[in-house]
Amino acid sequence: MSSTISFLAGSYIDGDRALLADGVTAGCQSDTQLLQKAAVGFVPTAAGTIKVGDGRGGYATFTVVAGSVYPVRVAQVYDTGTSLTNAQIQLLYGPVSP
């Protein structure tokens, strides 16, 4: 028996262009600030590690493979615990309504 998981993202933004909660375009990584808008997942463009927070007190560190889709809520990308650069992280956002 096999299963398939589908994931639909409407748009993405490169991590080096993401806005933090204070409205400053400084890249997505911060140990103290949330993203201005939480993402529904991410795609790394390189292998490495990434530590993400869900904005509700939970966090996880992933060892990632380039090009794979990780469908997890991302409200924060921690600088500490992340080996990827901002430019190596694509944040995914939900489908755009017509």
Distance CA(95)–CA(98), nearest Å, equals: 9
Residue pLDDT, tens place only, 6-27 = 555 578 889 989 999 998 767 9
Q: Given this model, what pLDDT does residue 98 score? A: 44
Q: Closest Cα to residue 21, out of 72, 81, 77, 59?
A: 77
The pTM (predicted TM-score) of the whole model is: 0.85
The DSSP annotation for 15-34 comes to: GGGPBBTTS-BS-SB-SS--
Q: How far is the CA of 29 from the CAs of 18, 22, 76, in angstroms?
A: 9, 13, 7
Residue pLDDT, tens place only, 36-85 = 999 999 999 999 999 999 999 999 999 999 999 999 999 999 999 999 99
- Residue pair 71/34 in contact by the 8 Å Cβ criterion: no
